[in-house]
Structure 1
Amino acid sequence: MAVVIVALAPGCTRSAPSPPAASPPSSPASASAATSPGPGLVVLTDVDPRIRTDIRYATAHNFVGRPVAGYPEPLCLLTRRAAEALRRVQDAALARARSLKVYDCYRPQRAADDFVEWARQPGEQRMKAEFYPRVAKSELFDEGYVGAPTAHSRGSTLDLTLVDVPTPTQP
């Protein structure tokens, strides 16, 4: 059983304008910031290594079909407060033979800019069948599936699900 929890941060809406103009490219200094936690951010697995992560934007297995700019490593970066809250939720989930599985956490602006650039290539749809089969690529921003700017850039928004934890078999 998988449960997907979706929450919109204050000020966010399901209907966003079409892709905005991309921001100027990030400097090399900001690119390295994605590899190590910035001020106020921690690596989730340092706070709770029991939480499963599958940070797909660092891989080619995502809706754009390639690693996304700003994700040099598959790390879940969050504010300490958010990471500690997830630890408490994980405690409750494990008590019910479930575990949190996180797909995305802090998202650097470079990534949001990369999504905008990808959206401007209407012919690039090789991942459509797997990741957005019932939505036209041109509608992904308007329908709220992708946003720029994004609440993920604050470090307290994440994409997650619950997964079953296999129970050990009795001998």
Structure 2
Amino acid sequence: MAKIPSEFISLSETCPNIIIQSDYSTVKNFTGEIVRGYKKTAAYMAKAPAKALGEVQKVALSRGYNLKIFDGYRPVKAVEFFQEWAKRPETNPEIKAHYYPTFSRLDLFEQGFIAKQSSHSRGAAVDLTLVDLKTGKELDMGSHFDFFDERSNTDSKSITEEQKKNRMLLKELMEGKGFKNFSQEWWHYSFKPEPHPDQAFNFDVE
């Protein structure tokens, strides 16, 4: 069992049967590398938001959906890794085309898609989507996780009505339990008020 600060808890404990897809613990992410600080597929949050997310899951399950988590707590060392990556030359056009086709690496920070100081590191933020219990498939949100483009803006005009409806369903579920959406990314939610607004953490996800 991983040693984590007493202020944190695994989402597997507060959200039974939740789906965790930790792309940052693999090379299948926008950097093309295993992200520093991610040792395995796991997700943690500070206790208050983790428990609130458990309440979101209960409501979602009652309506025929499960939650899929892409990222919860994010170590400071991972945020630093992203900043180092952004300063390196572009080396993989396929990855760029898949994740950030219209921006440079540094643009991702300047445009606000990646934060230099992240609420993820304070244990208050989560990146997630909804999965249909009947089909086992993610709802069509109009873009994939970490697709850095206008189409990922929650209120994007470049998506279909069905995709907008799915985004609004996720937003309704999350905001009903104290989370606030980051308007540039349909998948990103932060719990308010943050339990540790002035403290960033740096333990590994393991």
Normalising by structure 1, report the TM-score: 0.73
Matches within 5 A, 1:115-126: 115-126=82-93
**What is the CA–CA distance in structure 1 between the aligned matches of 2:5 and 2:70, rounded to whole Å?**
19
Q: What's 2:133 paired with?
A: 165
**Is residue 54 of structure 1 aligned with residue 21 of structure 2?**
yes
Asked if the contact 1:106–1:157 (Cα under 8 Å) also holds between the matched residues in 2, the reply is: yes
1:83 to 45, 50, 58: 50
Asked if the contact 2:14–2:53 (Cα under 8 Å) also holds between the matched residues in 1, the reply is: no
Give unpaired runs (5+ residues) of structure 2.
137-206
**Is residue 143 of structure 1 aligned with residue 121 of structure 2?**
no
Cα deviations across residues 140-170 of structure 1 (Å, max 9, x unaligned)?
A: 00111111111111111111111211269xx
Q: What's 1:5 paired with?
A: none
Q: What's 2:69 paired with?
A: 102
Matched residue SS, 1:158: strand
Matched residue SS, 2:110: coil
Point out the structure with the larger helix share.
Answer: 2
**What is the CA–CA distance in structure 1 between the aligned matches of 2:62 and 2:135, rounded to whole Å?**
12
1:137 partner amino acid = R
**Is residue 40 of structure 1 aligned with residue 19 of structure 2?**
no
Q: Which one has the largest radius of gyration?
A: 1
2:35 to 63, 68, 93: 68
2:53 partner amino acid = L
Asked if the contact 1:125–1:137 (Cα under 8 Å) also holds between the matched residues in 2, the reply is: no
1:110 partner amino acid = K
**What is the CA–CA distance in structure 2 between the aligned matches of 1:167 and 1:142, rounded to whole Å?**
38
Q: What's 2:100 paired with?
A: 132
**What is the CA–CA distance in structure 2 between the aligned matches of 1:148 and 1:115, rounded to whole Å?**
9
User: Quick one: percent identity of the two aligned structures?
Assistant: 37
**What is the CA–CA distance in structure 1 between the aligned matches of 2:63 and 2:135, rounded to whole Å?**
11
Q: Over the residues paired in the alignment, what is the CA RMSD in angstroms? A: 1.7
Aligned length, in residue pairs: 134
1:121 partner amino acid = R
1:86 partner amino acid = L
Cα deviations across residues 110-140 of structure 1 (Å, max 9, x unaligned)?
A: 1011001100112234411221223222310
Matched residue SS, 1:163: strand
Matched residue SS, 2:36: coil
What is the CA distance between 1:93 and its match in structure 2? Answer: 0.7
Matched residue SS, 2:109: coil
Matched residue SS, 1:141: helix
**What is the CA–CA distance in structure 2 between the aligned matches of 1:141 and 1:167, rounded to whole Å?**
36
1:43 partner amino acid = S
